[in-house]
Amino acid sequence: MTTPEFTLLGSKRNAPIDSEELETFPKPEGLYEVEFTTRELTSLCPITGQPDIYTLTVRYTPDALCLEAKSVKLYLHRFRNIGVFAEELAVVIAQDLQRACGATTVSVEAAQQVRGGLSFTARASAGPRGDDV
């Protein structure tokens, strides 16, 4: 198998970067699902400007391409400066990831850290065989 050319993976950077670029590589034969999880996703409340902290779980069924993990990490990092409600955050991530790799389905679960005693989770999916939110 040939190795794709990555611009983000292996790059040496001293400061965190934000990226809208999502890199892909050919799906290995036999792979049927991929899952990413992070407890470090942050965005800003669009009303108060206060940080919202999420545990994010992404599951996708690749068609021909897989998402490269570092590019996903850098893509998610950019939300730290964006004011967005959890519901829209989940939808935008699902749609962007689906567009980038052409996955059959992408599901996103954004579970916001407890705030004021309230637990909150937003779920979205995208793809030609998903709910295509």
| Residues catalogued as catalytic | 45, 52
Is residue 100 within 8 A of residue 59, CB to CB? The reply is no
Q: Give the relative orientation of helices 69-77 and 86-101 as an angle to the nearest 10 degrees.
A: 150
**Residues 97, 13, 110: CA angle, nearest 5 degrees:** 30
Structure tokens at 97: 């990831």
Q: CA-CA-CA-CA torsion for 68, 69, 74, 79, nearest 10 degrees? A: 110
